Amino acid sequence: MSAVTDGLQDRLDSLRATYACERRLEELLTSKLLDRESTATVRAGVGLPDPQASLEQFLADSLDGPVAVGGVSRLRGGGANEAYAFTLTRGPETERLVLRVKTPGAICATDATREFQMLQAVQGLMPTPRPVLLTEDPSYFGAPAFISTFVPGTSAPTFDVPKATGLGVTYGPRLRKALAPAFVQHCAALHSADWSGAGLDAFDVPRSETTDAIDWRLGFWERAWEQDKLEEHPTMLLMSQWLRENRPPVDRVSLLHGDYRNGNFLFDEERGEITAVIDWELCYLGDRHSDLAYTMLPGWGSVDENGTFLVAGLMDEATFLGEYERISGLSVDRDRLHYYSVYNYYWAVVSLLGTGPFHARARTTQLDVMYNFISGLGGRFVGDANALVLED
């Protein structure tokens, strides 16, 4: 901390006192701010200079015996992680794996260790990549990173043009019928799981029947907005005030994906089978209604041939909630759904109108064009959020 100026230290102290959040996430936001103030050049997420060499060094240091790395290819996407598929050979065994490196200019600040631990916790609950190795040492890949198994599949039908972050994904009658039951099944299994024995020490554990979980989430996103906003926005002030005044206590603390929607699962198009739920960067412990409300946002859905709105492009709202309650054994409270709809709009706008454009302007991301493009969705979300708050 000796290199931190008095003015910056005062700002950090004020931010910590004003916006209380989980300890690791507070450290993440502090690190972002310090990096921003540093004279050192921040590597934009434009790809590792030599991913094969970096993988070979990391794996040689992490595994016993000789290893060989081949077939390295960068995977598309990378909003929060740069991803590389590769083949690892150890003796007679060959395995296809994926390296995920935290992107410096990501639209959301996320933590590799939390993502890794959550993937460990949900093994057996649903199909997901299996976490293999984790490093918080940035000397290997320039940022914290982890390796998981490679799961084949597509995130959008090949007969539609895939769009960034899954927006606009439609499935058609055959795939909807095949994918919808598993989509709601996996959501229900996640929220109803007993996670008490899971190794989740990278997470602060909220108490049930309190507002701990939402307090920490609001603190995180409010601070992210304060650090990243390009200008003030009246709707952000309105939403923040409304969310603070109407916080519901959580009746059951659940494992939450944080970004459960179309585009964030892979499927086999021919068999109509979900092969993996992916993109766990925003996972946390909290109220199941947060995940449900997010999944149900109009921005992720589409309408069927009869004009009926489909949650995540897969099923109508009544079917989604009815099947969720039946499978999970958990009730759905409409008032809490309303609250968490506003919350999800809030953090989405933080990302779409705050953090994303900030990194695009600062040229710390290879996704500057996409971040500027999807800021238009932030404008739509602002309108939707205003309508919800005024309903109350």
Q: Name the CATH superfamily, with its identifier, for domain 164-391.
A: Aminoglycoside phosphotransferase (APH), C-terminal lobe (3.90.1200.10)
DSSP state of 77: -
| Rounded mean pLDDT, 114-128 | 97
The pLDDT, as a whole number, for residue 2 is 46
The pLDDT, as a whole number, for residue 283 is 98
pLDDT band at 46 (very low <50, low <70, confident <90, very high): low
- Residues 80/371, Cβ–Cβ less than 8 Å: no
Q: Which CATH number applies to 51-149: 3.30.200.20, 3.30.70.360, 3.30.1370.160, 1.10.10.2160?
A: 3.30.200.20
pTM above 0.85, yes or no: yes
CB atoms within 10 A of CB 358: 20
- The CATH 3.90.1200.10 portion of the chain extends over 164-391
In the chain, pLDDT over 70 holds for what percent of residues? 94
- The CATH 3.30.200.20 portion of the chain extends over 51-149
Terminal CA-CA length for the chain: 45
The pLDDT, as a whole number, for residue 390 is 86
pLDDT band at 1 (very low <50, low <70, confident <90, very high): very low
Give CA–CA dist 44/104, Å, rounded: 6
- Residues 61/259, Cβ–Cβ less than 8 Å: no
Supply the mean pLDDT for the chain. 92
The answer to whether residue 39 scores a pLDDT higher than 70 is no
Instruction: Please provide the DSSP assignment of 149-171 as one string.
Output: E----BSS-TTS---GGGTT---
The answer to whether residue 350 scores a pLDDT higher than 60 is yes
Question: Which long-range contacts link 215-219 to residues 24+ away (Cβ below 8 Å)?
Answer: 215/20, 215/247, 216/20, 216/21, 216/22, 216/25, 217/21, 217/284, 217/286, 217/290, 217/343, 217/347, 218/243, 218/244, 218/247, 218/343, 218/346, 219/19, 219/20, 219/21
The pLDDT, as a whole number, for residue 78 is 59
Residue-wise pLDDT for 151-199, tens only, equals 999 998 886 544 444 566 789 899 999 999 999 999 999 999 999 999 9
pLDDT band at 332 (very low <50, low <70, confident <90, very high): very high
Residue 164 one-letter amino acid: A
According to DSSP, the residues that pair with 149 across neighbouring strands are 97
The answer to whether residue 117 scores a pLDDT higher than 70 is yes
